[in-house]
Structure 1
């Protein structure tokens, strides 16, 4: 069947096979790496860690500012509190969206928010109120000092930090599992590219040999036949 093809068709077939193999390899690798880049899990762990760390930083700053206010009475220290409270809620909601498919993390986040709203915020408000009562002469300094020394805010803060660390650790472990799967897929693509790099040249050699046999040999026979006919040998047969 192949012997009946014209020379141009044989050339088109030979080079077409090489181009198709190369295009398939490149397109497959491009599609796979595009999938990696657009995969949300690719950035999930990093975003969860950043949001959790940011939440912890704001909580520590709130505790330190209120403690300093309780000891000094400087009202300007309280000015950033509304902004920090909003940031805590925003980052907490962001972590919740990023880990929406994990019941374990959802429970940790719920406990963290309960601790924040039921223990930490009342502690902050109570400490501010004690200082203002001191400034108004309703309580002695010893009451304020004793409350600060009790470390209630630090205990609540430590509990929330432990919960946030558990969320981060859960997400890190999840990311490690995803990374193992991704590494296996990358290895598969590498093997595919390596196979293409090996098979491609071999196929090119095979196609060159085939083209030489199916194109150049008939041409050489045709040239020889033409020469014999030109010399007057009419006994040559044309196959």
Structure 2
């Protein structure tokens, strides 16, 4: 029901835009349509010259505001309005998806900078067991044994046998390799969750930029008419399936 209403509204607004002078005989109505057309033309011009990274940064902001608006709408509707369950599910899903999209975009866009900031810390964590093993081997200390003991205890509780050899340097190297593997799994999981949203966002950005260029080529005089034709046609075609 909600989607049918949205499509009907879009079809109606598109029809008003395409009605031209027939609907603009009142000065205030004409001024409102002229303002919309000028604003859309300005937006269209900005989109044509926008880079993919700029578009992705803009989408990140859109995802953040969508998450905030959908969360507030869901909370207010649950508190003050008796909305249909489909609407509540829609708001809930909109919040979850937009929030995950925002978090994923934050991670993807700042991945290189975040990795560069953490590389020193990661290097310390990875090399620490190996350093302790070398230190134990060259002295009478037992730092490696103390370092491995709690790890070994936890793994034994989980039923996992530690692949340690009893030599401090070899054991330090093994622990370092295990830590590298854990970091690889950590970053891999983040990419598995973030990459699909990143690909979708790239597709959205590419579509928006390409659409703006098409509007400039085929509707140079009034790009809002082109937008109305596309939106109105899409709404009519989709309405039987909603």
Could you say which structure has the greater relative contact order, defined with CA pairs below 8 angstroms and 6 or more residues apart? 2
| TM-score normalised by length of structure 1 | 0.41
> Larger C-alpha radius of gyration, 1 or 2?
1
| TM-score normalised by length of structure 2 | 0.40
